[in-house]
Amino acid sequence: MASLGSACLAVGLLTAAYAATASLYGARTGDRRAVVSGRRAIYCLAGLLIAATVVLQSAFLRTDLSYRLVAEGSSTDTPTFYKLTAMWATQEGSLLLWALLMSIFSSAVLFLTRRSLREIAPYATAVLAGVAGFFLLLMVAWENPFATLAVVPTEGAGLNPLLRHPAMMIHPPMLYTGYVGFSIPFAFAIGALITRRTGADWIRATRRFALIAWTFLGAGILLGALWSYSELGWGGYWAWDPVENASLMPWLVGTAFIHSIMVQEKRGMLKVWNVSLVIATFVLALLGTFLVRSGILDSIHAFGASTIGKQFLAFIAVVVVGSAWLVVSRLDSLRTTARLDSLMSREAFFLVNNLVLVGLCVVILWGTFFPLISEAMTGEEASVGPPWFDRVTTPLALVLVALAAIGPALPWRRATRLGLARAFRIPLAVAAVTLVALVAFTAAPDSPTSLAMFCLVALVLAVVVRELARGAAARRTITGDPWPRALAQLVARNRRRYGGYLVHAGIALLLLGVAASSAFMEQRDVRASPGESFRAGGYDITYERPTAAIGRDPAGTGAPISFGAVLTARRGDDVQTLRPARNFFPSRDPSTGAIGRFFEGEATSEVDVRWGLRRDLWAAIRPDIAELEPAIREANAKFADSSGDVQALVIAAIVERYRNDSPPAAFRVIDSPLVSWIWIGGAIVLLGALIALWPSPDARLRRVTSVYAARLGKELSRA
């Protein structure tokens, strides 16, 4: 079966090459048959890659250890969910995932545009085939997912315990959907540039894909943050690690793109800017994929020199140089005569918003690549840490929220002073009241930037609420509908606008959570013995008793041994129980001893979080098993050759020791306000994006009509 998988990839590479050639030939000679043939080749590619993925996943499901990937990333005792997701924990598997998503999305967009965009689509097909072909080439030549082992091991290495968390396993497919999604508008932009058809056609056809990509990329980033917060032992959700930044940068530029294409659709402006933005977004997506796999930057994920780093860099270089040349050579067809009427217009604000977003991206790019930059400039490799990132991004984030508040209240073309006053009277009042209340009743003034953020968030929410209220009121005067129906109709008939406003509200809430939790969290690191109490933030914490469990890992990760604690946290009348633990996974290194290997393998922190709307209580434990070591060493010597059952009993006895005679353990407890609003805000962004994406009924009608027209044309031509 593995050879079937390999064959799918090899034939896939040839198919991609054919697709590109046929499409280009058809485009240059006008031969429609070649174009259609090329498009069908992309459909075949999707089929081949689906088949290949099915082959690989079935190998994982059966734990077929003759596959190198299964042996390295899975095991018979890995839970089924993680067996299925182990594919993209590996280099080869993630390349396959990229190629799979690429072929499916390409097929979708080519199917949807099969009757339109006659001139552009063939070139777009060639570009998409080229990108898919690159990933296929990587797999066929260097990183084959279907490599088999000559000697089949009896057990696999198992999925890295740190990754055994649901959020972490959906995170890569979401990110890749985002990256791949942005390749669609990129390909059509290239096609538009080549054919000099730089009107809004390519945008119209790919706008939905850009929005879908943006949504998935954002969700992927948020899931990564959620994983960091709820799985890692440090209690934070964002560390400005190069890999985190690598996914954030295309998202920022993608956000700019989504806004500025609206300006091109409405006013025909910003053509050069738009093609440049989408090219930049795609390049950053490739760069993001490359950064995780190349080892050029020190980070948690950078794994030292990898085998495909150079190839990625070469591909990115080709894309950048090729695209730049195209843009410059087509500048004449990208010029517009439309000009900004006024600075107080939605267009102008979108432009400023774009500049801020691109500015944020540039800043983050600078900081991420600083080690390389400083080495090039000064000969010394230096790096900047989270404090620097926080310092430079905070002002830009504040400006962004302010823009998000003002933009929705502005009309297109130009606003009048009276209109502005009317639009902002109430929201500014709300923001002012918020400011006064926060200063008077809370500790918010201790952090001026947080205070500013809180007031701006209030402004955004007030503007959004006002837009909804006034819009619904306007509908009511016309239709006389009751409020809920008027509101629903308003949103349904203006999905893009109100979906967008909802996204703004979600982002504002997200940043509210970020500001509050970063500025006002209280963290306590202590060593405590059972029975001891200590204070963390606003809570009195008591270490009630230690816990020790064998084979019953509550988190579902399959860990055999789990040491933890029961903590009670008291705040006034509110009492909560926390059960942080540490899971121990067996090591495969025989030098640790037959018994010892169960205590010397990977260990992960199982954090316990009491989520709340006002605050989160977060606890992690690092139990001290040093005192068990003499017993473990003794057991290693005595029971090395005993049967599995006897060994299990010995381990159970040692584990019981911990419960009865427990040394002080190290705890980290964090009391942080409003963290949950990050995830809630994210969910609202998702909802808003879905609303904006939903096709409107009249669009559906129009498409049906054009299908009838096509049929009529066909029948007429036959008669």
Partner 1 sequence: MDPHRKRRLRLVVALSAAVLLAGALIYTSFSAATQASTPSDLLASAEPGRSYELTGKVVADSVGKDGDKLTFRVRDRDGTASVPVTYEGVVPDPFREGREVIVSGSLQGRTFVAERDSLITKCPSKFTKDDTST
Partner 2 sequence: MEYALAVILLLALVAAVVARPLVLGVGDDTGESSTHEELAAAKEAKYREIRDARLDLEMGKLTPEHHRTIERELRAEAIEILRRLDVVEGKAPPA
Residues at the contact surface with partner 1, assessed by CB under 8 A: 72-73, 89-91, 157, 160-162, 232-234, 293, 295, 298-307, 339, 355, 359, 363, 366-367, 370-371, 374, 380-385, 387-388, 391-392, 525, 527, 587-589, 601-605, 622, 626, 666, 668
User: Rounded distance, CA 75 to CA 54, Å?
Assistant: 19
Give every CB contact of residue 373 below 8 A, 6+ residues apart in sequence: 366
Q: Does 363 bind partner 2 (CB under 8 A)?
A: no
List the single partner that 383 binds among partner 2, partner 1, none, CB under 5 to 8 Å by kind.
partner 1
Exactly one of 29, 34, 148, 254 binds partner 2 (CB under 8 A); that residue is 34
Near partner 2 in 679-718, by CB under 8 A: 702, 706, 709-711, 713-714, 717
Residue 22 touching partner 2 (CB under 8 A): yes
Q: CB under 5 to 8 A by kind: which of partner 1, partner 2, none does 370 bind?
A: partner 1
Per rule CB under 8 A, is residue 7 in the interface with partner 2? Answer: yes
Among 50, 200, 316, 438, binds partner 2 (CB under 8 A): 200
Site string for partner 2, 376-415 (x = CB under 8 A): ---------------------------------xxxxx-x
Token reading at 462: 């007030």
Distance CA 356, CA 347 (A): 14
Q: Does 522 bind partner 2 (CB under 8 A)?
A: no
Structure tokens at 432: 């002012």
449: left (phi over 0), alpha (psi -120 to 50) or beta: alpha
The item of partner 2, partner 1, none sharing an interface with residue 14, based on CB under 5 to 8 Å by kind, is: partner 2
Shortest gap between Cβ of 356 and partner 1 (angstroms)?
11
Q: Is 331 helix (H, G, I), strand (E, B) or coil?
A: helix
423 binds, among partner 2, partner 1, none (CB under 5 to 8 A by kind): partner 2
Closer to partner 2 by CB, 100 or 569: give it.
100
Q: Is 166 in the site for partner 2 (CB under 8 A)?
A: no
> Can you tell me which residue has the tokens 């933009």?
407
Q: Does 201 bind partner 2 (CB under 8 A)?
A: yes
Cα distance between residue 250 and residue 393, in whole Å:
16
Count of positions on this chain that bind partner 2 (CB under 8 A): 60
Min CB(483)–partner 2 separation in Å: 16
Q: Is 440 in the site for partner 2 (CB under 8 A)?
A: no
Distance between CA atoms of residues 90 and 567, nearest Å: 37
Per-residue burial over 83-108, b = 16 or more CB atoms within 10 Å of its CB, e = otherwise: bebbbbbbbbbbbbbbbbbbbbbbbe
> Beta partners for 542?
533, 568
Residue 523 to residues 359, 541, 577, 579, Cα–Cα distance (Å): 33, 13, 18, 17
Q: Cα–Cα distance between 317 and 323 in angstroms, integer?
A: 10
Residue 511 contact, options partner 2, partner 1, none, Cβ 5-8 Å cut-off depending on partner type: none
Q: Which of 153, 157, 166, 197 binds partner 2 (CB under 8 A)?
A: 197
495 lies in the binding site for partner 2 (CB under 8 A): no
* Rounded distance between C-alpha atoms, residue 615 and residue 517, angstroms: 9
Cβ proximity of 674 and 509 under 8 Å = no
Q: What phi and psi values does residue 256 have, to the nearest 5 degrees? A: -60, -45
Identify the CA nearest to 201 among candidates 322, 128, 272, 118.
118
Q: Which positions lie near partner 2, rule CB under 8 A?
A: 3-4, 6-8, 10-11, 14-15, 18, 22, 32-34, 36-38, 40-41, 43-44, 48, 114-119, 197, 199-201, 204, 265-266, 409-413, 415-416, 418-419, 422-423, 467, 470-471, 474, 494, 497, 702, 706, 709-711, 713-714, 717
